[in-house]
Amino acid sequence: MSTRTLVSPLTLGRPRGRAVYWTVFGGVVVLFALAFLFPVYWMVTGAMKSPDEVTRTPPTLLPDHWHIGGYTDAWDLMDLPTHLWNTVVQATGAWLLQIVFCTAAAYALSKLKPAFGKVVLGGILATLMVPAQALVVPKYLTVADLPVLHTSLLNSPLGIWLPAVANAFNLYLLKRFFDQIPRDVLEAAEIDGAGKLRTLWSIVLPMSRPVLGVVSIFALVAVWQDFLWPLMVFSDTDKQPISVALVQLSQNIQLTVLIAAMVIASIPMVVMFLVFQRHIIAGISAGSTKG
Amino acid sequence: MKTASKPPAVLPPAAVGAPEAPRSAGRRTGGPWRRRLADQFRAYGFLAGGLLCFALFSWYPAIRAVEIAFQKYTPGSGGEWVGTANFTRVFHDPEFTAAWRNTLTFTLLALLIGFAVPFVMALVLNELRHAKAFFRVVVYLPVMIPPVVSALLWKWFYDPGAGLANEVLRALHLPTSNWSNGADTALVSLVIVATWANLGGTVLIYLAALQSIPGELYEAAELDGASLLQRIRHVTIPQTRFIILMLMLLQIIATMQVFTEPFVITGGGPEDKTVTVLYLIYKYAFLYNDFGGACALSVMLLVLLSAFSALYLRLTRSEEDA
């Protein structure tokens, strides 16, 4: 990219400009490494120190002896396999249901012209105005005692899955994308004898890969990172996701073991980020400029 | 479904030929109104799952919040109308004032710290021509770390004994601090955590906005003799004003719902210096078992935040129309 920014290429080309540039560049690299990478480094290596060493002052930059034991202890003592599995189940289900129900609803609102479609869309968009956390208590009461059915979804993954479907942002994102698909394409499919479901499955969805990717990432990250809602839904320790379990167990566990558990809890999200970073960063940047 | 049963003014060609065809011939040959009804059924079939979830977990709780705010409510035994008693009770709770003061202070501090810092970062990053991908990944890394982990991580850093935060101060020969354990410093300590954990997203959004500024504007300003600071003041800021405003509103809405950091790091203390409104709602519901009070507080938070949201939506919409 050669578009000019605040500082002109000419100024940068001069010896003095070049000196300033490399100084600033070096400074920013060091600053970013210290501010954002170092805490992560400290966490990963802290878990490998001995319990004495981790509380020693002044602290050691490198562990005296590398203990892998912190990680294995965390895995066993804190029952991480169970909690990680719970998180995976909760996140996967929420993602799957969101993809199925939100795409179906977005497709209907965008292409099937239901009566009162505008009213329905308005009702969905209105929920964007209501901050999610402010409704967390009445939502809890609803989940604890579903109207009509009078069953409780507490301590059940359904308590995470179903409310996750009511995601106006993702639904609107999908609807906006479907709106751009020309009607001719769908009509052509219909003339060839495809039903609505078939059209959605074989024409619309394959065309929507980019937006489905974005929605998928949003959905997975949201459930994995959430804390307050699963804290309310799962009082049963065995059913808790990793985020809730970490906080509950943090009180009476050795520091090195807790730190190791924190690292393990972060790995899936960080790995996903490193794999999909291009898409994630592009998604954030693009979403913003459109408002 | 009135619109569905109304006969169309002009019959579609396919329907004209066989208006009375038997049902067994398939839905395509049904009467026009029947076909429209079938279309409606199909459309609502696709909508059903999503609509049901919105009704149950968005619309219904919103109504319930208002309803329970005026009731004495315990789960399982229904509600009893008590007028505005919940509001007055909550209002006279000493923690009420503390919670609102803390939340507003938190939001203000988050704007001061968490707003200027990402803007300056984006401004500098936009000038750097090397290692762009590295910077973008590194700045966003904390956002991907689960909030609970960031909170626990910083709780450890803030530890008055072996915490890294005081070690750094000692190494720099500065006086140490109580950080999250000090009555004066606890709230600021939480703002630092929230900023560290979230600023990556803001930086990336700013970066995208800065990249859309036409270079000719800087060119022209420079020819007119504008200095670096003047160029920021007269070109960069006016050109990104809209994004700045949007992000500010979004940040206000987000920070006013802060919960994880005070819950995990300070537990609301010391004294009540870090109890936030959402934390108080949580306490009313799950510690005091007072769902009426919790919903009264929720409604207050809801009204305030919806005002900001409405402003946000209005502004983004008017920008889209322009």
| Interval A66-75 mean pLDDT | 90
Confidence at B58, pLDDT banded by 50, 70, 90: very high
Torsion from C-alpha of A204, A206, A212, A214, nearest 10 degrees: -120
The Cα B71–Cα B83 span in angstroms is: 7
Q: What is the pLDDT of residue B29?
A: 53
The Cα A30–Cα A280 span in angstroms is: 25
The Cα B183–Cα B167 span in angstroms is: 20
Q: What is the pLDDT of residue B189?
A: 95
Closest by Cβ to B162, choosing from A57, A102, A244: A57
Which chain B residue lies closest to A3 (C-alpha atoms)?
B215
Chain A interface includes B46 (CB < 8 A): yes
Query: Does the beta-carbon distance from A39 to B153 stay under 8 Å?
Result: yes
Render pLDDT for B265-299 as a digit per residue (tens, 0 to 9): 999 889 899 999 999 999 999 999 999 999 999 99
| Kind and range of the H or E run holding B79 | strand B79-81
Encoded amino acid at A291, one letter: G
Confidence at A61, pLDDT banded by 50, 70, 90: confident
Asked whether the predicted pLDDT for residue B12 surpasses 50, the reply is no
Look at residues A3, A14, A8 and name the one whose alpha carbon lies nearest to residue B222. Answer: A8
Q: What is the pLDDT of residue B225?
A: 87
Chain A residues in contact with B1 by the CB 8 A cut-off are 115
Render pLDDT for A173-203 as a digit per residue (tens, 0 to 9): 999 999 998 888 888 888 888 888 888 888 8
Q: 3-state secondary structure string, A146-212?
A: CCCCCCCCCCCCHHHHHHHHCCHHHHHHHHHHHHCCCHHHHHHHHHCCCCHHHHHHHHHHHHCHHHH
Confidence at B135, pLDDT banded by 50, 70, 90: very high
Which chain A residue lies closest to B53 (C-alpha atoms)?
A166
* CB contact burial A280-290 (16+ within 10 A = b; e otherwise): bbebbbeebee
Confidence at B320, pLDDT banded by 50, 70, 90: low
Query: Does the beta-carbon distance from B40 to A114 stay under 8 Å?
Result: yes
Render pLDDT for A212-269 as a digit per residue (tens, 0 to 9): 988 898 899 999 999 999 999 999 999 999 999 999 999 889 999 999 999 999 999 9
Omega before residue B270 within 30° of 0, cis: yes
Q: What is the pLDDT of residue B316?
A: 79
- State the residue for tokens 């720099």: B172
Chain B residues in contact with A273 by the CB 8 A cut-off are 137, 140-141, 144
**Those residues with Cβ within 8 angstroms of residue A98's Cβ, 6 or more apart along the chain or in another chain:** A164, A165, A167, A170, A215, A219
Asked whether the predicted pLDDT for residue B23 surpasses 70, the reply is no
Closest by Cβ to A285, choosing from B64, B207, B236: B207
Q: What is the pLDDT of residue A287?
A: 59
Query: Does the beta-carbon distance from A36 to B142 stay under 8 Å?
Result: yes
The Cα A80–Cα A264 span in angstroms is: 9
Confidence at B19, pLDDT banded by 50, 70, 90: very low
Query: Does the beta-carbon distance from B164 to A54 stay under 8 Å?
Result: no
The Cα A241–Cα B262 span in angstroms is: 20
The Cα A175–Cα B200 span in angstroms is: 28
Query: Does the beta-carbon distance from B39 to A142 stay under 8 Å?
Result: no
- Lowest mean pLDDT, pick from A3-17, A64-78, A92-106: A3-17
Q: What is the pLDDT of residue B280?
A: 96
Average pLDDT, chain A: 89
Q: What is the pLDDT of residue B261?
A: 95
Render pLDDT for B152-174 as a digit per residue (tens, 0 to 9): 999 999 998 778 999 889 889 99
State percent of chain A over pLDDT 70.
97
The Cα A239–Cα B27 span in angstroms is: 47
- In angstroms, what separates the C-alpha of B18 from chain A's closest C-alpha? 18
Closest by Cβ to B46, choosing from A37, A105, A136: A105
Look at residues B78, B79, B118 and name the one whose alpha carbon lies nearest to residue B250. Answer: B118
A146, A288, A289, best to mutate vs chain B, most B CBs in 10 Å: A288
Average pLDDT, chain B: 86
Chain A interface includes B54 (CB < 8 A): yes
Chain B residues in contact with A57 by the CB 8 A cut-off are 161-162, 167
Instruction: Judge whether B268 and B279 are in contact, CB under 8 Å.
Output: yes
Q: What is the pLDDT of residue B321?
A: 59
Which chain B residue lies closest to A286 (C-alpha atoms)?
B208
Give ipTM to 2 decimals.
Answer: 0.92
A28, A80, A137, best to mutate vs chain B, most B CBs in 10 Å: A137
| Interval A103-111 mean pLDDT | 93
Look at residues B29, B63, B176, B247 and name the one whose alpha carbon lies nearest to residue A123. Answer: B63
Chain A residues in contact with B147 by the CB 8 A cut-off are 225, 227, 243
Chain A interface includes B42 (CB < 8 A): yes
> What three-state secondary structure class fits B80?
strand
Chain B residues in contact with A143 by the CB 8 A cut-off are 57
**Residues 4-33, chain B, touching A (beta carbon < 8 A):** 4
Query: Does the beta-carbon distance from B144 to A130 stay under 8 Å?
Result: no
Closest by Cβ to A166, choosing from B57, B140, B218: B57
Chain B residues in contact with A54 by the CB 8 A cut-off are 162
- In angstroms, what separates the C-alpha of B184 from chain A's closest C-alpha? 24
- In angstroms, what separates the C-alpha of B112 from chain A's closest C-alpha? 19
Query: Does the beta-carbon distance from B50 to A102 stay under 8 Å?
Result: yes
Query: Does the beta-carbon distance from A140 to B285 stay under 8 Å?
Result: yes
The strand pairing partners of B81, in sequence order, are: B71
Render pLDDT for B202-260 as a digit per residue (tens, 0 to 9): 999 999 999 889 988 998 998 898 888 899 999 999 999 888 888 888 889 889 999 99
- In angstroms, what separates the C-alpha of A58 from chain B's closest C-alpha? 7
Helix then strand count (H, E) for chain A reads: 18, 0
The Cα B62–Cα B64 span in angstroms is: 5
Query: Does the beta-carbon distance from A24 to B128 stay under 8 Å?
Result: yes
Asked whether the predicted pLDDT for residue B322 surpasses 80, the reply is no
The Cα B202–Cα B195 span in angstroms is: 10
Closest by Cβ to B257, choosing from A56, A131, A259: A131
Render pLDDT for B300-315 as a digit per residue (tens, 0 to 9): 999 999 888 888 888 8
Task: Please report the number of interchain residue pairs, chain A to chain B, with beta-carbon separation below 8 angstroms.
Answer: 308
